[in-house]
Structure 1
Amino acid sequence: MRVLVTGAAGFIGSHAAEALNALGHDVLGVDNFSSHYDVALKKLNAASLKAQNIPIIHKNLNDSNLAESLPKDLDYIFHFAAQPGISTTSTFNDYLENNVLATKALVDYALGLSNLKLFINIGTSSVYGLEAAFKEDVPPKPASFYGVTKLAAEQLVLQQSREEKLRSCSLRLYSVIGPRERPEKMFAKLIALGLEGKPFPLFEGSDKHLRSFTYVGDIVEGIVSVIGKESILNGEIVNLGTDKEYTSQQGIEAVEQVIGKSIQLNIMPRRAGDQFRTRAIIDKAKTLLDYNPTTTLLDAVKYQVGWYKENFL
């Protein structure tokens, strides 16, 4: 199968591209290498893909000549590219352009592909709102620009299924951690600062927040398992994550255990739009995808610390 992965130089996208390649698919990546986080890390990811003969086209999905730059004979599109997370440095227009308009441009391109079997949108639990511990049929209540625009992107994709113009689905991911995690994310920052002996900025009260911290390898297994299941997935939304809950404090303690150091905390003012609780309800994923995440939080942290030491120390 010929597969396109958008955001292929990013955290989860790069892992998914590698997994699809390992399954024998012909994988092509596209990424705009934007500076919303360290471009050097994206280039490191891209180099890993290149070593496995996975090419990445340097392209913005909003470019007017997008269709001319991408192939016409794709079987699957995995759409990871987005303006990620909740950030005080990202404007609403950043989220609008990179989550909504870019997705619309990709959908328009996909509509011109006669052999496309499935368009897989990579969504987020942030669409549920301040608490994300629900089945997929609960009305979303996003509480951030990120959540609002990712919900809009998801609906732009699923609209095409409702109009029977192409087959599509959306996978809502929960608190993914592991090697290549974005530098501003909790575990990446905990590991880097902890090993350097520097204080970690903790938003007030967030140590008690509950999260479904899910190892990226488990997430990717769920994502790539959609291949061949387009008939049962068409028009569906599926949660992917672990159904186990951890507090952020437990996450901090796991990192301290692995690196063998205590981490000093610098308490910061509360952050607007931050979720209080996420717990993945994955009954649907188990039924449709035979999904079964098994990696423990401690093992996930060990893998991430090992990757960080190998690449940055």
Structure 2
Amino acid sequence: MKVLITGAAGFIGSHAAERLQQEGFDVTGLDNFSDHYDIALKELNAEALEKKGIEVIKMDLRNPAEYSVLSPEFDFIVHFAAQPGISSTSTFDDYFSNNVIATQHLLNFAEANKDLKHFFNISTSSVYGLEATFPETVAPKPASFYGVSKLAAEQLVLAKSRANLLKASSLRLFSVYGPRERPEKLYTKLITCGVKDEVFPIFEGSEKHLRSFTYVGDIVDGIYRAIKVYEDLDGEIINLGAEDEHKTQEGINIVEDILGKRIKLEVQPRRAGDQFRTLANIGKAKKILGYKPKTSLKEGIRLQVDWYMENFL
């Protein structure tokens, strides 16, 4: 089985590429190597994939002309590529072009692939809004450009399913962390500040935010399980994440315990659109996929610290 993974040099996409190859898939990766964060990290991820025989093609999904380098013979497409997260340096145009326009062009490519069995859109709990504790049947209320653009992308994909043009579904991920996490994300930033004795910038009140912190390996396991039962998923939306919720302060404490030092914090103004609470409602994933995240927060953070120490010290 051939699978195309977009955003394959990124955090979750690179882990998914490795897992699917281990499960016997013929994996091709795509990434535009955006400078949204340090390209060196993406290059490190791509190098790890290429050492395992996984090709990572540099291309921009927003440019229709670049699709000519791809063979239209994939069994599955797993679409991670996006302008990620909530960032003051990302404009509405960044989110719109990378998350909406790029998805539409990829769908055009997918629709022309007559052998395609299923298109998996990777979405986010941010589509739910400031509080994400709901089942998939609840109407989304995104509160950020990121959430709005990811919801729009999701609906583009599901519209193809409703029109019987593609078999497709959308997987909404909750607060993913682990090795290869982006440098501006919570745990990589915390670990960096702790190791280098730098000040960690924390948004006012965010230490009390509740999160379904989910280890990347558990997310990838959910994606693999979805692929195995793809025939049952056309038109479906499924939440993937841990059922346990933790305050951000708990995560800070765990990093400090592992590093054996206190991390200096600097409070910054609240960030617009930031979620107050996420708690993955995974009843549907349990029923359809047999999904059950297994990695504790402390165990996952320790694995992330080990990765950081191995690659950046």
| TM-score between both structures, scaled by the size of structure 2 | 0.99
Instruction: Kindly report which structure 2 residues correspond to 1:7-26, keeping only aligned pairs within 5 A, or say none.
Output: 7-26=7-26
Query: Per-residue displacement from partner, 1:125-145 (whole Å, max 9, x unpaired)?
Result: 000000000000100000000
Instruction: Kindly report which structure 2 residues correspond to 1:6-155, keeping only aligned pairs within 5 A, or say none.
Output: 6-155=6-155
For the residues of structure 1 that align with 2:211 and 2:25, how far apart are their CA atoms? 33
- Amino acid of the structure 1 residue aligned with 2:126: S
1:229 and 2:243 aligned: no
Is residue 74–residue 113 contact of structure 1 (8 Å, CA) maintained in 2? Answer: yes
Q: CA deviation at 1:32?
A: 0.3
**Cα-Cα RMSD:** 0.6
For the residues of structure 2 that align with 1:198 and 1:230, how far apart are their CA atoms? 46
For the residues of structure 1 that align with 2:302 and 2:228, how far apart are their CA atoms? 33
Match of 1:193 in 2: 193
Q: CA deviation at 1:230?
A: 2.0
- Amino acid of the structure 1 residue aligned with 2:115: N
Structure 2: gaps spanning 5 or more residues: none
Match of 2:300 in 1: 300
Dislocated runs of 4+, deviation >3 Å: none
- Amino acid of the structure 2 residue aligned with 1:30: L
Query: Per-residue displacement from partner, 1:67-113 (whole Å, max 9, x unpaired)?
Result: 31111110000000000000000000000000000000000000000
For the residues of structure 2 that align with 1:96 and 1:258, how far apart are their CA atoms? 39
- Amino acid of the structure 2 residue aligned with 1:199: V
For the residues of structure 1 that align with 2:175 and 2:147, how far apart are their CA atoms? 14
For the residues of structure 2 that align with 1:269 and 1:310, how far apart are their CA atoms? 34
Number of aligned residue pairs: give it: 313
- Amino acid of the structure 2 residue aligned with 1:143: A
Q: CA deviation at 1:66?
A: 3.4
Q: CA deviation at 1:40?
A: 0.2
Q: Percentage identity across aligned positions?
A: 59
Is residue 72–residue 109 contact of structure 2 (8 Å, CA) maintained in 1? Answer: no
Q: CA deviation at 1:41?
A: 0.1
Q: CA deviation at 1:242?
A: 0.2
1:254 and 2:254 aligned: yes
Q: CA deviation at 1:255?
A: 0.5
Q: CA deviation at 1:228?
A: 3.3
For the residues of structure 2 that align with 1:66 and 1:237, how far apart are their CA atoms? 30
Is residue 66–residue 109 contact of structure 1 (8 Å, CA) maintained in 2? Answer: no
- Amino acid of the structure 1 residue aligned with 2:167: R
For the residues of structure 2 that align with 1:38 and 1:221, how far apart are their CA atoms? 27
For the residues of structure 2 that align with 1:89 and 1:73, how far apart are their CA atoms? 37
What secondary structure does 2:64 align onto? coil
| TM-score between both structures, scaled by the size of structure 1 | 0.99
Q: CA deviation at 1:252?
A: 0.3
1:219 and 2:219 aligned: yes
Q: CA deviation at 1:264?
A: 1.1
Instruction: Kindly report which structure 2 residues correspond to 1:281-292, keeping only aligned pairs within 5 A, or say none.
Output: 281-292=281-292
Query: Per-residue displacement from partner, 1:265-308 (whole Å, max 9, x unpaired)?
Result: 10101110000000000000011111000100000000000000
Is residue 73–residue 116 contact of structure 1 (8 Å, CA) maintained in 2? Answer: yes
For the residues of structure 2 that align with 1:267 and 1:135, how far apart are their CA atoms? 33
For the residues of structure 1 that align with 2:290 and 2:76, how far apart are their CA atoms? 20
